[in-house]
Amino acid sequence: MIKREICIEAINLKSNKLNGYRLLTVYSKELGVLKLSGSKLGGRAEAFVRNNFWINYSEKSDIHSIRQSEFIGLFKGINQNYEKLMGAWQWAEFLEACSHTGEDHSQEIFDLFWNCLKTLEEIPEQVYEQKGLILNLYFLWNLSHFLGYEPNLHLCQQNHEKFDCPLLKNEAKFHDLFFDFEQGGILCSACPGDLQMTPYSSKILGGIYKIFIDLKEQNLDQILSENIQNTHQKPALEFTKKTLQKYLQIHAHHKLKSISLK
Protein backbone atom coordinates (compact mmCIF):
# COMPACT_ATOMS: atom_id res chain seq x y z
CA MET A 1 0.00 0.00 0.00
CA ILE A 2 1.57 3.27 -1.14
CA LYS A 3 1.25 6.15 1.33
CA ARG A 4 2.20 9.75 0.86
CA GLU A 5 2.47 12.56 3.37
CA ILE A 6 0.03 15.38 2.74
CA CYS A 7 -1.17 18.41 4.69
CA ILE A 8 -4.88 18.97 5.16
CA GLU A 9 -6.93 21.66 6.88
CA ALA A 10 -9.82 20.12 8.79
CA ILE A 11 -12.54 20.63 11.40
CA ASN A 12 -13.00 17.84 13.94
CA LEU A 13 -16.44 16.24 13.85
CA LYS A 14 -15.92 13.76 16.69
CA SER A 15 -13.17 12.10 18.70
CA ASN A 16 -12.84 8.69 20.38
CA LYS A 17 -10.11 7.04 22.45
CA LEU A 18 -8.73 3.77 21.10
CA ASN A 19 -5.85 1.88 22.78
CA GLY A 20 -4.08 5.03 23.87
CA TYR A 21 -4.68 6.76 20.55
CA ARG A 22 -7.25 9.29 19.41
CA LEU A 23 -9.48 8.30 16.52
CA LEU A 24 -10.74 11.48 14.87
CA THR A 25 -13.47 11.93 12.30
CA VAL A 26 -12.79 15.23 10.52
CA TYR A 27 -14.10 17.20 7.59
CA SER A 28 -11.20 18.45 5.49
CA LYS A 29 -11.12 21.22 2.94
CA GLU A 30 -9.13 19.05 0.51
CA LEU A 31 -10.72 15.58 0.78
CA GLY A 32 -14.00 15.80 2.69
CA VAL A 33 -14.64 13.27 5.47
CA LEU A 34 -11.58 11.42 6.81
CA LYS A 35 -10.76 9.22 9.79
CA LEU A 36 -7.42 9.97 11.43
CA SER A 37 -5.47 8.40 14.30
CA GLY A 38 -2.83 9.99 16.47
CA SER A 39 -1.51 10.45 19.99
CA LYS A 40 -0.61 13.40 22.25
CA LEU A 41 -3.09 15.68 20.48
CA GLY A 42 -4.47 17.30 23.63
CA GLY A 43 -7.08 20.00 22.94
CA ARG A 44 -6.51 19.68 19.20
CA ALA A 45 -8.61 16.50 19.32
CA GLU A 46 -11.74 18.19 20.67
CA ALA A 47 -14.87 18.55 18.54
CA PHE A 48 -15.17 21.61 16.29
CA VAL A 49 -11.49 22.50 16.54
CA ARG A 50 -9.85 23.58 13.29
CA ASN A 51 -6.36 22.14 12.67
CA ASN A 52 -3.74 21.59 10.05
CA PHE A 53 -2.82 17.89 9.95
CA TRP A 54 0.18 16.30 8.26
CA ILE A 55 -0.93 12.72 7.61
CA ASN A 56 0.20 9.52 5.93
CA TYR A 57 -2.52 9.20 3.31
CA SER A 58 -3.50 6.26 1.13
CA GLU A 59 -6.65 6.00 -0.98
CA LYS A 60 -6.95 2.32 0.02
CA SER A 61 -6.78 3.00 3.77
CA ASP A 62 -9.81 3.74 5.98
CA ILE A 63 -7.76 5.39 8.73
CA HIS A 64 -4.79 7.71 8.18
CA SER A 65 -2.09 8.31 10.78
CA ILE A 66 -1.27 11.82 11.98
CA ARG A 67 2.43 12.75 11.83
CA GLN A 68 2.03 16.34 13.00
CA SER A 69 -0.76 18.77 13.85
CA GLU A 70 -1.14 22.53 14.15
CA PHE A 71 -3.99 24.27 15.99
CA ILE A 72 -5.86 27.00 14.05
CA GLY A 73 -9.03 27.85 15.98
CA LEU A 74 -12.02 26.68 18.03
CA PHE A 75 -15.48 27.76 19.18
CA LYS A 76 -15.65 28.35 22.94
CA GLY A 77 -19.09 29.93 22.60
CA ILE A 78 -20.49 26.69 21.18
CA ASN A 79 -18.85 24.30 23.63
CA GLN A 80 -20.12 26.35 26.58
CA ASN A 81 -23.76 26.40 25.42
CA TYR A 82 -25.71 23.11 25.43
CA GLU A 83 -28.29 24.04 22.76
CA LYS A 84 -25.65 25.38 20.40
CA LEU A 85 -23.48 22.33 20.99
CA MET A 86 -26.37 19.99 20.15
CA GLY A 87 -27.03 21.95 16.96
CA ALA A 88 -23.38 21.69 15.92
CA TRP A 89 -23.36 17.94 16.71
CA GLN A 90 -26.30 17.43 14.35
CA TRP A 91 -24.51 19.24 11.53
CA ALA A 92 -21.43 17.09 12.17
CA GLU A 93 -23.52 13.94 12.01
CA PHE A 94 -25.09 14.98 8.71
CA LEU A 95 -21.62 15.70 7.28
CA GLU A 96 -20.31 12.29 8.31
CA ALA A 97 -23.40 10.42 7.12
CA CYS A 98 -24.00 12.21 3.81
CA SER A 99 -20.54 13.14 2.59
CA HIS A 100 -17.56 10.96 1.70
CA THR A 101 -13.81 11.05 1.12
CA GLY A 102 -12.95 12.73 -2.18
CA GLU A 103 -16.07 14.90 -2.21
CA ASP A 104 -16.13 17.11 -5.33
CA HIS A 105 -17.24 20.19 -3.38
CA SER A 106 -15.29 19.56 -0.19
CA GLN A 107 -13.95 23.12 -0.02
CA GLU A 108 -17.42 24.65 -0.42
CA ILE A 109 -18.86 22.30 2.23
CA PHE A 110 -15.91 23.05 4.55
CA ASP A 111 -16.53 26.79 4.18
CA LEU A 112 -20.28 26.31 4.72
CA PHE A 113 -19.64 24.37 7.94
CA TRP A 114 -17.05 26.85 9.24
CA ASN A 115 -19.18 29.92 8.47
CA CYS A 116 -22.26 28.35 10.06
CA LEU A 117 -20.25 27.44 13.18
CA LYS A 118 -18.96 31.03 13.43
CA THR A 119 -22.47 32.40 13.03
CA LEU A 120 -23.87 29.90 15.54
CA GLU A 121 -21.30 30.99 18.12
CA GLU A 122 -22.18 34.66 17.63
CA ILE A 123 -25.97 34.34 17.96
CA PRO A 124 -27.10 35.95 21.27
CA GLU A 125 -28.77 33.48 23.63
CA GLN A 126 -31.98 35.55 23.83
CA VAL A 127 -32.66 35.10 20.10
CA TYR A 128 -31.08 31.68 19.64
CA GLU A 129 -34.38 29.77 19.41
CA GLN A 130 -35.42 31.88 16.42
CA LYS A 131 -32.08 32.57 14.71
CA GLY A 132 -30.74 29.07 15.38
CA LEU A 133 -33.67 27.49 13.55
CA ILE A 134 -33.12 29.72 10.50
CA LEU A 135 -29.38 28.95 10.50
CA ASN A 136 -30.14 25.23 10.71
CA LEU A 137 -32.34 25.46 7.61
CA TYR A 138 -29.65 27.38 5.75
CA PHE A 139 -27.03 24.73 6.55
CA LEU A 140 -29.24 21.78 5.57
CA TRP A 141 -30.36 23.36 2.29
CA ASN A 142 -26.86 24.34 1.19
CA LEU A 143 -25.43 20.99 2.22
CA SER A 144 -27.94 19.27 -0.08
CA HIS A 145 -26.93 21.72 -2.83
CA PHE A 146 -23.18 21.00 -2.60
CA LEU A 147 -23.78 17.25 -2.29
CA GLY A 148 -25.62 17.38 -5.62
CA TYR A 149 -29.23 16.67 -4.64
CA GLU A 150 -30.75 20.04 -3.90
CA PRO A 151 -34.57 19.79 -4.23
CA ASN A 152 -35.75 20.72 -7.72
CA LEU A 153 -38.09 23.69 -7.33
CA HIS A 154 -38.44 24.60 -10.99
CA LEU A 155 -39.62 21.42 -12.70
CA CYS A 156 -42.84 19.66 -11.72
CA GLN A 157 -42.10 16.00 -11.05
CA GLN A 158 -45.55 15.18 -12.41
CA ASN A 159 -45.17 16.52 -15.94
CA HIS A 160 -41.47 17.56 -16.03
CA GLU A 161 -42.42 21.07 -17.09
CA LYS A 162 -41.63 24.38 -15.43
CA PHE A 163 -43.29 24.35 -12.02
CA ASP A 164 -46.20 26.79 -12.08
CA CYS A 165 -48.51 25.54 -9.37
CA PRO A 166 -51.78 27.47 -8.90
CA LEU A 167 -51.59 26.64 -5.20
CA LEU A 168 -48.64 28.98 -4.86
CA LYS A 169 -50.61 31.81 -6.43
CA ASN A 170 -53.51 31.27 -4.01
CA GLU A 171 -55.69 30.32 -6.97
CA ALA A 172 -56.37 26.79 -5.74
CA LYS A 173 -57.12 26.58 -2.03
CA PHE A 174 -58.20 22.95 -2.00
CA HIS A 175 -55.28 21.26 -3.70
CA ASP A 176 -52.53 19.33 -1.94
CA LEU A 177 -48.79 19.77 -2.35
CA PHE A 178 -46.41 16.80 -2.05
CA PHE A 179 -42.65 16.38 -1.81
CA ASP A 180 -40.85 13.29 -3.07
CA PHE A 181 -38.09 12.53 -0.57
CA GLU A 182 -36.26 10.22 -2.96
CA GLN A 183 -36.20 12.42 -6.08
CA GLY A 184 -36.41 15.82 -4.36
CA GLY A 185 -39.28 16.94 -6.60
CA ILE A 186 -42.60 18.71 -6.08
CA LEU A 187 -46.02 17.23 -6.91
CA CYS A 188 -49.34 19.05 -6.79
CA SER A 189 -52.88 17.68 -7.05
CA ALA A 190 -53.74 20.68 -9.24
CA CYS A 191 -51.46 19.39 -11.99
CA PRO A 192 -53.14 17.58 -14.89
CA GLY A 193 -53.31 13.77 -14.83
CA ASP A 194 -53.11 11.28 -11.98
CA LEU A 195 -50.55 11.94 -9.28
CA GLN A 196 -47.52 9.69 -9.69
CA MET A 197 -47.05 8.98 -6.01
CA THR A 198 -44.21 6.82 -4.66
CA PRO A 199 -43.54 5.38 -1.18
CA TYR A 200 -41.33 8.45 -0.68
CA SER A 201 -44.04 11.01 -1.48
CA SER A 202 -45.44 12.93 1.46
CA LYS A 203 -47.85 15.81 1.83
CA ILE A 204 -46.28 19.12 2.85
CA LEU A 205 -47.56 22.57 3.71
CA GLY A 206 -47.76 25.03 0.83
CA GLY A 207 -45.71 27.55 2.80
CA ILE A 208 -42.72 25.21 2.79
CA TYR A 209 -42.23 25.69 -0.94
CA LYS A 210 -41.89 29.45 -0.36
CA ILE A 211 -39.37 28.81 2.42
CA PHE A 212 -37.44 26.57 0.01
CA ILE A 213 -37.33 29.45 -2.49
CA ASP A 214 -35.98 31.84 0.17
CA LEU A 215 -33.30 29.31 1.17
CA LYS A 216 -32.30 28.87 -2.47
CA GLU A 217 -32.16 32.55 -3.39
CA GLN A 218 -30.85 34.29 -0.24
CA ASN A 219 -27.37 34.39 1.29
CA LEU A 220 -26.60 33.87 4.98
CA ASP A 221 -26.99 37.52 5.97
CA GLN A 222 -30.31 37.76 4.15
CA ILE A 223 -31.65 34.53 5.57
CA LEU A 224 -30.92 35.69 9.13
CA SER A 225 -32.61 39.06 8.60
CA GLU A 226 -36.00 39.84 10.11
CA ASN A 227 -37.72 39.40 6.73
CA ILE A 228 -37.84 35.61 6.59
CA GLN A 229 -38.76 35.37 10.26
CA ASN A 230 -41.67 37.74 9.81
CA THR A 231 -42.79 36.15 6.54
CA HIS A 232 -42.87 32.53 7.77
CA GLN A 233 -44.34 31.28 11.03
CA LYS A 234 -42.34 29.05 13.37
CA PRO A 235 -44.47 25.87 12.79
CA ALA A 236 -43.78 26.12 9.04
CA LEU A 237 -40.07 26.62 9.68
CA GLU A 238 -39.98 23.62 12.04
CA PHE A 239 -41.81 21.48 9.47
CA THR A 240 -39.32 22.58 6.82
CA LYS A 241 -36.43 21.51 9.08
CA LYS A 242 -37.94 18.05 9.53
CA THR A 243 -38.55 17.80 5.78
CA LEU A 244 -34.90 18.64 4.95
CA GLN A 245 -33.62 16.31 7.67
CA LYS A 246 -35.69 13.43 6.33
CA TYR A 247 -34.60 14.20 2.76
CA LEU A 248 -30.90 14.14 3.72
CA GLN A 249 -31.42 11.03 5.85
CA ILE A 250 -32.75 9.11 2.84
CA HIS A 251 -29.60 10.02 0.89
CA ALA A 252 -27.22 9.31 3.80
CA HIS A 253 -24.77 6.40 3.82
CA HIS A 254 -26.01 5.26 7.25
CA LYS A 255 -28.73 6.08 9.77
CA LEU A 256 -28.29 9.22 11.82
CA LYS A 257 -28.51 8.03 15.42
CA SER A 258 -28.93 11.27 17.35
CA ILE A 259 -31.55 12.99 15.21
CA SER A 260 -35.26 12.36 15.62
CA LEU A 261 -36.96 12.46 12.23
CA LYS A 262 -40.48 11.74 13.45
Q: DSSP string covering 81-126, please?
A: -HHHHHHHHHHHHHHHHH--BT-TTHHHHHHHHHHHHHHHHHS-GG
CA 50 to chain centroid: 18
Domain range annotation of the chain:
4-73, 123-254
Answer with the residue of higher pLDDT: 152 or 91: 91
Q: Has residue 261 got a pLDDT over 50? A: no
Is the Cα torsion angle 16, 97, 114, 245 positive or negative in sign? negative
**Angle formed by the axes of helices 206-217 and 234-251, nearest 10°:** 70
Predicted model pTM: 0.86
Contacts of 221 (CB under 8 A, 6+ apart): none
* CA angle in degrees (0–180, nearest 5) for 206-210-215: 140
Domain boundaries 4-73, corresponding CATH code = 2.40.50.140
Query: For residue 47, which of 19, 68, 75 has the smallest C-alpha distance?
Result: 75
Residue 206 pLDDT grade (very low, low, confident, very high; cuts 50, 70, 90): low
Single-letter code of the amino acid located at 20: G
Average the pLDDT over each of 73-77, 131-135, 187-191 and give the range with the smallest value.
Answer: 187-191
- Residue 158's pLDDT is 62
- Give the per-residue pLDDT at 184: 77
